[in-house]
Amino acid sequence: MRENGVAGNGAGDSAYVRFEDVQKSYDGETLVIKNLNLAIRRGEFLTMLGPSGSGKTTCLMMLAGFESTTHGAIWLHEQRIDNVPPHKRGIGMVFQNYALFPHMTVSENLAFPLKVRGMGKAEIEERVARVLAMVELPQFGDRRPSQLSGGQQQRVAVARALVFEPDLVLMDEPLGALDKQLREQMQFEIKHIHQNLGVTVVYVTHDQSEALTMSDRVAVFNDGIIQQLSTPDVLYEAPENAFVAQFIGENNRLYGEVLQRVGDGEVRVKLDSGEEIRALPVNVDGAADRTTLSLRPERVQINPAEGSLPNVLRGKVEEVIYLGDHIRTRLAVAGHDDFIVKIPNASGHPSLKEGETADLGWTIEDCRALDA
- Domain count within the chain: 2
Q: Say if residue 223 is in the same domain as residue 346.
A: no
**Domain encompassing residue 313:** 250-370
Asked whether the whole model's pTM tops 0.85, one would answer yes
Q: Do 173 and 50 share a structural domain?
A: yes
Residues 45 and 143 grouped into a single domain: yes
pLDDT for position 49: 97
How high is the pLDDT of residue 196?
A: 86
CB of 132 within 8 A of CB of 159?
Answer: yes
Which residues does residue 341 pair with via DSSP β-bridges, in sequence order? Answer: 329
Domain co-membership, 8 together with 39? yes
**Residue 323 belongs to a domain with what CATH number?**
2.40.50.140
CA distance 17 to 11: 10
Same domain, 210 and 326: no
Give the span between the Cα atoms of 292 and 284, in whole angstroms.
9
| pLDDT value at residue 206 | 92
- What is the pLDDT at residue 262? 80
Amino acid 226: pLDDT = 97
Mean pLDDT by 10 residues, the chain (372 residues): 39 77 94 96 96 95 96 95 92 85 94 91 93 90 92 89 90 86 86 89 94 96 96 95 93 94 87 95 87 95 93 96 92 95 82 92 95 88
pLDDT of residue 350: 74
Q: What is the pLDDT of residue 215?
A: 96
Q: Are residues 162 and 136 in the same domain?
A: yes
* Statement to judge: residues 16 and 123 lie in one domain: yes
